[in-house]
Structure 1
Amino acid sequence: MPLLSLILNILWVLTGGLWMAAAWLLAALLMVVSIIGIPWARSALTIAWYALLPFGQTAVRRDEFRGREDIGTGALGFLGNVVWFVFAGWWLALGHLITAAGLAITIIGIPWAWAHLKLALLALWPVGTEIVTTDEMDMRRRAMGRY
């Protein structure tokens, strides 16, 4: 991890990253307990790690990144997102919004508030999304001629 990303991630943990990652872990735990929610629990664990250390990583649509559709990016992915929204998405997004509002009060907290807003959008509709490093994303863009 580059030094700048490390510093930003340390500051992030202090400005809401830790408790929001814990909220994502709680969502994953509740989904595992239901057994039916195990596929969503895996995604929640992945996003919990992203919510803990977001700098140096990015969330991308899997079909755009991989260049092909899969079960999570088609009609079943849409249905999965609807189920996710009803049972976990709205309250995780609300947590990120409340944290963002608290951080946006101070000028120095605005960059972290912006990151929480991006995570709030991800919390609403995460199925079909993949977390990749920014280096992987840059290499993929170059390979596809979009850079």
Structure 2
Amino acid sequence: MRTIGNILWLLLAGWWLALAYVVAGVIACALVVTIPFGIASFRLASFVLWPFGRRAVFRQDAGALAMIGNVVWILVLGWELALAHVVAGFLLCLTVVGIPLGVACWKMVPLALVPLGQQIVPVNGPRAYPGR
């Protein structure tokens, strides 16, 4: 079922959302200071391209630099990418088939806003439940 969801996602929204993250990553890598933002953007592009079966969890070792970086990310790149997720989620929810995909798109809005200090893991992986 995840494969079918991922294929539908890729065709309906994943490819252009991933393209937005890649463009943001290239822009961020153009400046030496913002290369960590570019790396985070490329990591998110991979997740947005094929999201079902994976999830984002906060890393326990993320510190103050990640928090400061997330504030800068929101001001520079994050709000545009989050807005793209909101619009894509709305458009996907216009059809019955797209409603689950639209909800999944809206669940990615927080990740688009604060990606630093988060890690993409398999849903059934050992780090999927950080409390264990």
Calculate the TM-score normalised by the size of structure 1: 0.84
Alignment of 1:7-22 (within 5 A): 7-22=4-19
| Alignment partner of 1:52 is 2:52 | no
Identity rate, percent? 37
Counterpart position of 1:24? 21
Larger-gyration structure (1/2): 1
Distance 2:108 2:69 in 1: 18
**Stretches of 4+ moved more than 3 A in 1?**
139-143
Unaligned runs of 5+ in 2: none
Distance 1:35 1:53 in 2: 29
How many residue pairs get matched? 132
Deviations 1:79-110 (A, max 9, x none): 00001001100000011111111111222211
**How far did 1:34 drift?**
1.1
Calculate the TM-score normalised by the size of structure 2: 0.93
Q: 1:111 to 1:78 in 2, by over 3 A?
A: same
Match for 2:93: what amino acid?
A: A
Distance 1:80 1:57 in 2: 24
